Amino acid sequence: MECIYLIGFMGSGKSTIGKLLSRVLDVPFMDTDEYIVEKNQMKINDIFEKEGEIAFRNYESQALKASKSGVISTGGGIVENEDNMKWMKQNGVIVYLQTSFEEISNRLKEDPTRPLWNKRIKERHELFHQRCNMYSKCADYIVTTDKKSVENIVDDIKERIYE
């Protein structure tokens, strides 16, 4: 089976939705952030602080390539690397979980565990707009998530992929 890659901004629900989707489809699940934390025995914040974002991005590409089947929930910055996008295109379908900035702000609030969210509002906005263009360009399917339950979103993904 081809992989199903979930992409989208921080707080768009990739991990929660990916876990349920994999259960419903009865396929393996992998989360690139969880893989990195486990492999390095370090929190993401600490990797950013001690080794820098470039090192994190390298770990992220390695994590992506370690996943061979099933549902893969990616980190919000997976699209920063052209090679990652090519890899996902070649190995499966890419679903963009599209969430508004307002909804994301409500969900994340002042979440201190995400170094690129832990910034001033102007920077959060800029990153959001820049990333949304990248997600849209890269995606095979776009599924909106605002005001929907996890179950509804999983149904929408299944419908879109298998319609």
Q: Under the rule (CB under 6 A), what is the footprint of ligand S3P?
A: 10, 14, 33, 44, 75-77, 114-116
Is 122 one of the annotated binding-site residues?
no
Is 75 one of the annotated binding-site residues?
no
Is 33 one of the annotated binding-site residues?
yes
Do the beta carbons of residue 97 and residue 156 sit within 8 Å? no
Instruction: Give the distance, in angstroms, between the CA of residue 61 and the centroid of all CA atoms in the same chain.
Output: 13
Is 120 one of the annotated binding-site residues?
no
The least distance separating ligand S3P from the CB of residue 35, rounded to whole angstroms, comes to 11
Is 16 one of the annotated binding-site residues?
yes
Which amino acid is present at 70? G
Write the DSSP assignment of 2-13 as a string of letters. Answer: -EEEEE-STTS-
Q: Which is nearer to ligand S3P, 31 or 156 (CB)?
A: 31
Q: Which is nearer to ligand S3P, 75 or 92 (CB)?
A: 75
Q: Which is nearer to ligand S3P, 54 or 163 (CB)?
A: 54
- Contacts by residues 129-134 (CB-CB < 8 Å, ≥ 24 positions apart): 131/9, 131/76, 131/77, 131/79, 132/9, 132/98, 134/79, 134/80
Q: What is the three-class DSSP state of 152?
A: helix
The least distance separating ligand S3P from the CB of residue 113, rounded to whole angstroms, comes to 8
If phi > 0 it is left, if psi is from -120 to 50 it is alpha, else beta; for residue 52 that is left
The least distance separating ligand S3P from the CB of residue 16, rounded to whole angstroms, comes to 10
The least distance separating ligand S3P from the CB of residue 115, rounded to whole angstroms, comes to 6
List the binding residues for substrate.
33, 57, 76, 131
List the binding residues for ATP.
11-16, 114
